[in-house]
């Protein structure tokens, strides 16, 4: 089949049965028409349409090595710097569609599975041929242009002890039984963004301690979301039908769900790591998946910083606040953030090198630095919008006011230097959806945590970064004789 268009995505979404719980109800019927999902489903469809546009298709797809059909470019295993540049261009085009607001466009996990397939030998074939399974899975996802979600984290029950020491050893998802046709999994994982995906990857993230009790939790596998016993329990939706009132929430609420495995059978060809803490702890770094995921994330973060800088500038200009030096300084901070993320990207691509698995890989020093800096600077995006928008962010009456008898007052008192009332309210609602609405709050949390706990990431960065040359320079100066 190869690269999909939006209609094909929606058709598969609606024809794939899945157990999604929303409040006290199981979602039945068409997922793409459910109020919690329809806005984002349309946005995802629009992204797939984008890659099939005649003027973009050449740059957004490449020829499948197995069928010759066009397939999505984020599946491309880069061998040259030009390949990397093509990937970046494609990812930026998708990211710009939502102003970098959608975190889980398909290219995020496509990048991961692409890298893991190149590193197939990491998975090995002791006992079972896990290396062939990961390659077949990558090819299956690529050739059908499937949308993946993933879940890495055990439920937040008691972080003080490992999964086997929780009140119940089956809270965190784990192996229950190995059968001739696959492995049975019971327990839960938290969290999976995008329950309207086609497939779910269940991979390790937090370090598994080496004790024997934690071995059953050391697993990596993938399943169709229709797998029997697989359940998604959603949070409250922030979606809305009014694009005027909620310009982002109405389009981009990707939804987050806790995933329950009620004795789910994972067929052997979908198992990639089994009861192997050493492999589980290393998979992300050793395969290069983390670099390619972080590369995609940096592209999106640059897009988001640019978008919010543009939004803050428009807000300031609209109300004539752009002339004040402190407002200019705040917007400059956003521009600096955008430029910093782009500089990390450029450096990572300029110093790219072929990794141990043959992929032209962005330099991990700038990419890992971007990954660690982003959770610290991302909250500033919302802070600056609040500082500049001030009370204007609360002068955002619901859309219905525009058709009400109060319209003349609205037209008079909500107008701004550079916009009539309707346009000014529209703009400030967008700013609020980034900075303060429920949707905006979720965005803030997402940027802080989506790539892991920033505290532990910072510790890992500290341990990983080669500080020796810097220390040597200091020591040399301390003991300089002249
Ligand atoms: C909006 C959103 C969407 C997400 N989507 C996904 C998704 O699609 N797939 C997915 O797999 N994950 C997803 N995540 C989860 C994300 O991976 C985690 O939030 C992140 O890894 C941190 O884990 P945690 O939330 O369980 O925090 P916890 O580990 O519970 O941490 C809670 C607090 O305790 C501290 N802490 C906990 N343990 C330690 C320790 N050992 N040492 C030091 N400090 C510690 C942390 O610093 C933090 O302050 C999402 C998160 C958010 C917020």
Q: What are phi and psi of 100, to 5 degrees?
A: 75, 10
Cα 419 from Cα 456, distance rounded (Å): 46
Residues 387 and 243 in one domain: no
Say how many Å lie between the CA of residue 452 and the centre of ligand 1.
6
pLDDT in tens, the chain (482 residues): 899 999 999 999 999 999 999 999 999 999 999 999 999 999 999 999 999 999 999 999 999 999 999 999 999 999 999 999 999 999 999 999 999 999 999 999 999 999 999 999 999 987 899 999 999 999 999 999 999 999 999 999 999 999 999 999 999 999 999 999 999 999 999 999 999 999 999 999 766 665 788 899 999 999 999 999 999 999 999 999 999 999 999 999 999 999 999 999 999 999 999 999 999 999 999 999 999 999 999 999 999 999 999 999 999 999 999 999 999 999 999 999 999 999 999 999 999 999 999 999 999 999 999 999 999 999 999 999 999 999 999 999 999 999 999 999 999 999 999 999 999 999 999 999 999 999 999 999 999 999 999 999 999 999 999 999 999 999 999 999 98
Indicate if 112 and 25 belong to the same structural domain.
Answer: yes
> Which is it for the CA torsion 355, 102, 445, 236, positive or negative?
negative
Q: Are residues 67 and 187 in the same domain?
A: yes
**267, 283, 299 - which closes a domain:** 283
The CATH number that applies at residue 10 is 2.40.110.10
For 329, what's the count of Cα atoms within 13 Å in the CB-facing half-sphere?
4
Which residue, of 256, 283, 310, is where some domain finishes? 283
Residues 254 and 343 reside in one and the same domain: no
What is the Å distance from ligand 1's center to 206 Cα? 9
CB 208 within 8 A of CB 277: yes
Cα dihedral 207/211/213/214 (nearest 10): 10
Q: Ligand 1: which atom is nearest the Cα of residue 192? A: 8
**Residues 63-86: b if buried by 16+ CB within 10 A, e if exposed:** ebeeeeebbbbbbbbbeeeebbeb
Cα of 416 vs centre of ligand 1, distance in Å, is 42
- Which pLDDT does position 211 carry in this prediction? 72
Q: What is the pTM of this model?
A: 0.97
Domain shared by 279 and 294, yes or no:
no
Residue 482 within a domain: no
Spell out the residues 6+ positions from residue 283 whose beta carbon is closer than 8 angstroms to its own: 116, 122, 203, 204, 220, 273, 289
Q: Report pLDDT for 207.
A: 66
Report how many domains make up the chain.
2
67 within a domain of the structure (yes/no):
yes
Do 1 and 143 meet the contact criterion of CB atoms below 8 Å apart? yes
Q: Name the residue among 469, 353, 441 with its Cα closest to residue 80.
A: 353
The pLDDT, as a whole number, for residue 209 is 67
Query: Mutate which of 112, 148, 153, 454 to test ligand 1's pocket (most atoms within 8 Å of Cβ)?
Result: 153
Are residues 190 and 58 part of one domain?
A: yes
Q: How far does residue 379's CA lie from ligand 1's centre (Å)?
A: 17
Domain co-membership, 277 together with 365: no
CA distances from 67 to 78, 106, 139, 460 (A): 18, 21, 11, 41
Atom number of ligand 1 nearest to Cα 446: 1
Return the residue whose CA atom lies nearest to atom 52 of ligand 1.
446
Q: Rounded to the nearest whole angstrom, what is the distance from the C-alpha of residue 193 to the centroid of ligand 1?
A: 13
Please check whether residue 433 is in contact with residue 253, taking contact to mean a CB–CB distance below 8 angstroms: no
Kindly report the protein residue whose alpha carbon is nearest to atom 39 of ligand 1: 159
**Is there a domain that residue 276 lies in?**
yes
Phi then psi for 119, rounded to 5 degrees? -95, 35
Judge whether 212 lies within some domain: yes
Report the C-alpha gap between 400 and 438 in whole angstroms: 20
| Triad 294, 437, 196: Cα angle to 5° | 55
> Do 330 and 253 lie in a common domain?
no
Q: Which residues line ligand 1 (CB under 6 A)?
A: 149-153, 156, 159, 191-193, 256, 442, 445-446, 449-450, 452-453, 455-456
Alpha helices in 390-420 (DSSP H): 407-413
Same domain, residue pair 271 and 323: no
Q: Name the helix (H) or strand (E) containing 447.
A: helix 438-449
Give yes or no: residues 17 and 112 share one domain.
Answer: yes
CATH code of the domain in which 343 resides: 1.20.140.10
Structure-token match 């897009």, residue found: 303
User: Are residues 325 and 217 part of one domain?
Assistant: no
In a domain, 220, yes or no: yes
* Consecutive H or E run containing 406: none
- Token digits for 466? 């080669």
Shortest-distance atom of ligand 1 to CA 453: 22
Query: Cα(94)–Cα(469) distance, rounded to whole angstroms?
Result: 39
What pLDDT is recorded for position 1? 87
Enclosing domain of residue 171: 6-283
295: in domain: yes
Residue 367 lies in a domain: yes
Calculate how far, in angstroms, residue 154's C-alpha sits from the geometric centre of ligand 1. Answer: 9
Protein residue whose Cα sits closest to atom 21 of ligand 1: 452
Q: What are phi and psi of 172, to 5 degrees?
A: -80, 140
Q: Do 141 and 110 contact (CB within 8 A), yes or no?
A: yes
Q: Specify the pairing of strand 199-202 against strand 148-151.
A: parallel
What residue owns the CA closest to ligand 1's atom 38?
159
Tell me, in angstroms, the distance from the centre of ligand 1 to residue 445's CA: 10
Residue written as token pair 């330099």: 363
Chosen domain end from 253, 283, 313: 283
Within a domain: residue 1? Answer: no
Say if residue 400 is in the same domain as residue 302.
yes
């Amino acid at each position: 089949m190869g690269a999909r268009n939006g209609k094909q995505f929606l058709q598969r979404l609606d024809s794939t049965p899945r157990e999604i719980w929303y409040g006290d109800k199981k979602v039945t019927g068409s997922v793409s028409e459910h109020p919690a999902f329809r806005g984002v489903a349309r946005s995802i469809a629009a992204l797939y349409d984008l890659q099939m546009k005649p003027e973009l298709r050449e740059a957004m797809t490449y020829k499948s090595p197995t069928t010759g059909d066009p397939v999505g470019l984020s599946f491309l295993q880069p061998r040259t710097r030009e390949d990397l540049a093509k990937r970046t261009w494609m990812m930026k085009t998708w990211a710009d569609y939502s102003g970098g607001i959608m975190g889980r466009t398909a290219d995020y996990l496509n990048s991961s599975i692409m890298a893991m397939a190149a590193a197939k030998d990491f998975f090995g074939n002791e006992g079972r041929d896990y290396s062939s399974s990961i390659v077949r899975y990558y090819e299956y996802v690529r050739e059908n242009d499937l949308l993946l979600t993933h879940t890495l984290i055990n439920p937040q029950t008691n972080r003080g002890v490992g999964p086997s020491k929780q009140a119940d050893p089956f809270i965190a998802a784990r192996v229950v039984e190995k059968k001739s046709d696959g492995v049975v999994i019971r327990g839960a994982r938290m969290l999976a963004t995008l329950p309207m995906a086609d497939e779910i990857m269940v991979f390790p993230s937090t370090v598994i301690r080496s004790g024997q009790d934690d071995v059953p939790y050391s697993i990596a596998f993938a399943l169709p979301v229709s797998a029997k016993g697989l359940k998604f329990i959603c949070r409250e939706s922030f979606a809305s039908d009014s694009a005027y009132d909620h310009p982002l929430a109405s389009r981009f609420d990707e939804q987050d769900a806790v995933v329950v495995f009620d004795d789910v059978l994972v067929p052997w060809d979908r198992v990639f790591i089994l009861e192997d803490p050493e492999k589980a702890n290393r998979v992300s770094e050793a395969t290069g998946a983390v670099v390619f995921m972080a590369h995609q994330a940096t592209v999106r973060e640059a897009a988001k910083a640019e978008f919010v800088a543009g939004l803050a500038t428009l807000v300031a200009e609209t109300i004539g606040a752009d002339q004040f030096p402190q407002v200019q300084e705040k917007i400059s901070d956003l521009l600096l953030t955008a430029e910093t993320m782009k500089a990390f990207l450029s450096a990572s691509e300029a110093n790219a090198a072929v990794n141990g698995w043959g992929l032209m890989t962005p330099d991990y020093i700038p990419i890992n630095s971007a990954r660690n800096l982003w959770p610290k600077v991302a909250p500033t995006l919302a802070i600056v919008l609040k500082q500049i928008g001030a009370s204007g962010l609360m002068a955002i009456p619901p859309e219905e006011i525009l058709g009400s008898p109060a319209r003349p007052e609205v037209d008079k008192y909500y107008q701004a230097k550079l916009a009539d009332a309707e346009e000014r309210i529209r703009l400030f609602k967008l700013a609020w959806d980034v900075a303060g609405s429920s949707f905006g709050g979720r965005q803030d949390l997402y940027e802080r945590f989506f790539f892991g706990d920033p505290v532990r990431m910072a510790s890992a960065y500290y341990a990983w970064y080669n500080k020796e040359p810097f220390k040597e320079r200091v020591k040399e100066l301390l003991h300089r004789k002249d």
